[in-house]
Amino acid sequence: MQQGQQFSRIDWVASSCRLLQGIAAEFTVTRPFAGLTIGTAIHLEPKTAALLMTLKAGGARVIATGNLNSTQPATVTFLRENSVAIVGEQTRDASAHHAFIDALLDEKPDLLLDNGGDLFARFLERPYDSLIGGTEETTSGRTRLMPLRSDLARPILVINDSPIKQFAENRHGVGQSLFESYLRFTNRSTNGKRVLVFGYGACGKGTAACFRHGHSTVSVVDIDPVTTLEAHLDGFATPHRDEALRAADVIVTVTGYPNIVTAADMPLLKDGAILMNGGHFPHEIDRDGLISDAAVVSLATSPEDMIETLALADGRRIHLLAAGHMANLAGPRPLGNTIEAMDLGFAMQARCLERVASRTLGPDDCLIPVPTDVDRLVATAFLDLNR
């Protein structure tokens, strides 16, 4: 037996993305993106590399930049070595991130693969005629872009509005990865902990379920009484907000909206409470407001573990993970969602970009869900591989 060969995490992920492998093999023949440039602002990590290499197999020139905080240097190196153009580097600086977006748009991509609406929103401020359309990955991005729909007036398919994305990636993938991230960051048990989940959309459902399966007592707070009723009937505690905050050992935000936990909540938080965000943007927990609050007398940081501890004048300590960035793509060994969940989600990305590139959609197809036939195509392919 020969010994000494090594493989990287990128190799492991690529070999595990079986849907994308099949699509890439097909794309090398059909070449749906021949002569087109695809620009993306997305988390640059190994599973994303598998997606971008699939698009490249379809004939695309691919140019990519990252999202705030989540760019992984090894992935950037791999992509550059495989002729994917990379703009920028890992950053938490919003102004630097916006400069990377501008540099990407300077290339005038024909298709945009957006994640949070950064590309399409900026495109409207500096438009060019050759943009065909593209995709938006997230609920946060769709919410941000919907008021701009008449200005965009191009086919944009919202991946997060697919039922597959909702249950495979959001409920199962995000739920499992946030649970894993809590363990990875803190090395503390979940047994007997009182966990508060803000938001009971698909991501919140999965997060609440995973912590309950980890033997935590889980409460849910959502602004929608119908959604709160669903959480109640699913067996979760649904106390009023202030009561939930006072009791929580761990607080997880997965809403897609800003300022879910702010300095105004500081008097309610118990000693030792841990704050963790799973939403796309790092604004669900107002880190700057918390740190600058008059009650905070000192801030201690563990750079290795990305844990910040706020010491309050009354002796309480509050712990914040990853400075409020997406916990599952931050901190020590950031793994993100499971490979299988992202293989499904990224297979839909590839198929939806293929559909937009076919020029069979029009301006009325702006910010619409994934077409049903694409959902069925991806679901059937996954079942054929796993039955």
Average pLDDT over residues 66-73: 79
Tens digit of each residue's pLDDT (9 = 90 or more) over 230-279: 999 999 999 999 999 999 999 999 998 999 999 999 999 999 999 999 99
What's the N-to-C CA distance of the chain in angstroms? 33
d(C-alpha 64, C-alpha 43), whole Å:
10
Average pLDDT over residues 325-345: 90
Residues 6+ positions from 342 with CB-CB distance below 8 Å: 17, 47, 169, 173, 336
Ordered strands of the 85-86 beta sheet: 85-86, 61-65, 37-41, 111-114, 133-136, 156-158, 366-369
pLDDT of residue 73: 86
Between the CA of residue 192 and those of 59, 189, 213, 246, what are the distances in Å? 52, 8, 11, 16
Residue 280 has pLDDT above 90, yes or no: no
Tens digit of each residue's pLDDT (9 = 90 or more) over 215-243: 999 999 999 999 999 999 999 999 999 99
* Amino acid (one-letter) located at 303: P
d(C-alpha 79, C-alpha 48), whole Å:
10
List residues bridging with 261 in a β-sheet.
285
pLDDT of residue 329: 87
Residues 6+ positions from 209 with CB-CB distance below 8 Å: 171, 175
Q: Give the pLDDT band (50/70/90) at residue 387.
A: confident
pLDDT of residue 333: 84
d(C-alpha 201, C-alpha 247), whole Å:
22
- Nearest residue to 178 via CA among 212, 211, 222, 218: 211
Tens digit of each residue's pLDDT (9 = 90 or more) over 147-194: 999 999 999 999 999 999 899 989 999 999 999 999 999 999 999 999
DSSP letters, 63-123, are EEE--TTT--HHHHHHHHHTT-EE-------HHHHHHHHHHHHTT--SEEEESSSHHHHHH
Tokens linked to 296: 């905070």
Q: Which of 62-76, 243-257, 299-313 has the lowest mean pLDDT?
A: 62-76
Tens digit of each residue's pLDDT (9 = 90 or more) over 53-65: 999 999 999 999 9
pLDDT of residue 112: 98
pLDDT of residue 94: 82
**More confident call, 98 vs 190:** 190
Q: Which of 71-85, 111-125, 300-314 has the lowest mean pLDDT?
A: 71-85
Residue 355 has pLDDT above 80, yes or no: yes
Residue 4 has pLDDT above 80, yes or no: no
pLDDT of residue 88: 78
Share of the chain above pLDDT 70, in %: 99
Are 72 and 46 in contact by the 8 Å Cβ rule? The answer is yes
Residue 89 has pLDDT above 70, yes or no: yes
Cβ atoms < 10 Å from Cβ of 127: 11
Average pLDDT, the chain: 94
pLDDT of residue 1: 61
**Beta-sheet strands, E only, within 191-240:** 194-198, 217-221
